[in-house]
Amino acid sequence: MTRVFSGIKPSGAVQLGNYLGALQNWVSMQDESEAVYCVVDLHALTVPHDPDELRSSTLSLTQMLMAVGLDPDRCILFVQSHVQEHAECAWLMECTAAFGELRRMTQFKDKSTGNEFVSAGLFTYPALQAADILLYDTNQVPVGEDQRQHIELTRDIAIRFNSRFGDTFTVPEAIIPSSGARVMDLQHPEKKMSKSEDSPQGTILILDPPDAIEKKIKRAVTDSDDEVFFDIDTKPGVSNLLSILGAATGKTPQEASDGIERYGDLKNATAEAVVELLKPIQEKYHDLADDPGETNRLIAKGAEKAREIASATLSRARNNIGLFSHN
């Protein structure tokens, strides 16, 4: 059976891009495959953070993942730091990745530029991500477009490890949706929407109330003509709305533009589709948030199941790379 793995950082409130680019696929892939999903708290340590906030975001993100439709009976859902194999395997990956490869990662450039403190962990982050993926003999990794480069690197690391030390890891492929793979900030359509950027008017949060969603979409940056068609280069704002509308209604951005003549109509249709899409998720989230004890129980069970798979892969890797074993 196909094994699926993906991760999301507890680095702020979940935004629409996370849902359309990744989580929607996570949910649908639960049934066709053996899916393993992870709240990657170790990755959230790579940038300055507040410890109490990290703890509470880890719990609330786990509840949000269940609210969007992950079902711990149909997938393995766990917190990265609860399975220590990730940190250990990351060291093997750091020693397999080349410095030059890590230096070429655009996420490192984006997240380090202009910051006073840049941790070494931010630089080696893709090696930890490779460990996450390879520990589970993963075939497919559902992610947004921004992660394509990291999955390519993971493939290169797996191939190099296998050729140096014998067949150890499965080589995974990225699964990226055709609509919604790169949702842009509504105020800065040249930048991707993200949960840690400080752009409240440009970011739609999954828990935003309907009137806030409508307001943000109505104020989204477009351009001065009033023609609705999809062309990212000349019409980035309009194309972003078409991508959102398409991803929210199961259409391509081009199909979504059918019958829409004016910007006002595009914004109304997009706002309505997003509000409808998020309504059931918001209701479920509020129910789950009332029972943190149940979430704790479920993620403890998830970690146990994840550890079983990860420890078998790690002992294979430890052995193949030449670490001495006393038994």
- The residues carrying an active-site annotation are 111, 192, 195
DSSP 8-class letter at 81: G
Candidate ranges 88-96, 125-133, 266-274, 315-323; the one touching ligand LTN (CB under 6 A) = 125-133
3-class DSSP string for 191-259 = CECCCCCCCCCCCCECCCCHHHHHHHHHCCCCCCCCCCCCCCCCCHHHHHHHHHHHHHHCCCHHHHCCC
In the complex with ligand LTN, which residue's Cβ is closer, 7 or 237? 7
Q: Which of 46, 60, 129, 257 binds ligand LTN (CB under 6 A)?
A: 129
Q: Rounded CA gap, 74 and 72, in Å?
A: 5
129 interface partner picked from ligand ATP, ligand LTN, none, CB below 5 to 8 A per type: ligand LTN
133 interface partner picked from ligand ATP, ligand LTN, none, CB below 5 to 8 A per type: ligand LTN
The candidate with the shortest Cα–Cα distance to 134, out of 95, 85, 207, is 85
Q: Which of 85, 94, 132, 214 binds ligand LTN (CB under 6 A)?
A: 132
CB of 137 to ligand LTN, least distance (A): 14
CB of 79 to ligand LTN, least distance (A): 12
Q: Rounded CA gap, 201 and 191, in Å?
A: 13
Residue 7 contacts ligand LTN per CB under 6 A = yes
Q: Rounded CA gap, 92 and 195, in Å?
A: 30
Residue 147 contacts ligand LTN per CB under 6 A = yes
| 103: Cβ contacts below 8 Å, ≥ 6 apart | 123
141 interface partner picked from ligand LTN, ligand ATP, none, CB below 5 to 8 A per type: ligand LTN
- By Cβ distance, which residue is nearest to ligand LTN? 7
CB of 137 to ligand ATP, least distance (A): 20
Query: Distances from the Cα of 218 to the Cαs of 59, 121, 202, 261, in angstroms?
Result: 32, 39, 11, 16
Measured in degrees and rounded to the nearest 5, phi and psi for residue 148 equal: -55, -45
Q: Which of 75, 77, 141, 256 binds ligand LTN (CB under 6 A)?
A: 141
Task: Kindly determine how many residues on this chain lie close enough to bind ligand LTN according to the rule CB under 6 A.
Answer: 13
Inter-residue contact 230 to 258 (CB < 8 Å): no
- By Cβ distance, which residue is nearest to ligand ATP? 21
Which residues contribute to the site for ligand LTN (CB under 6 A)? Answer: 5-7, 9, 40, 43, 129, 132-133, 141, 143, 147, 150
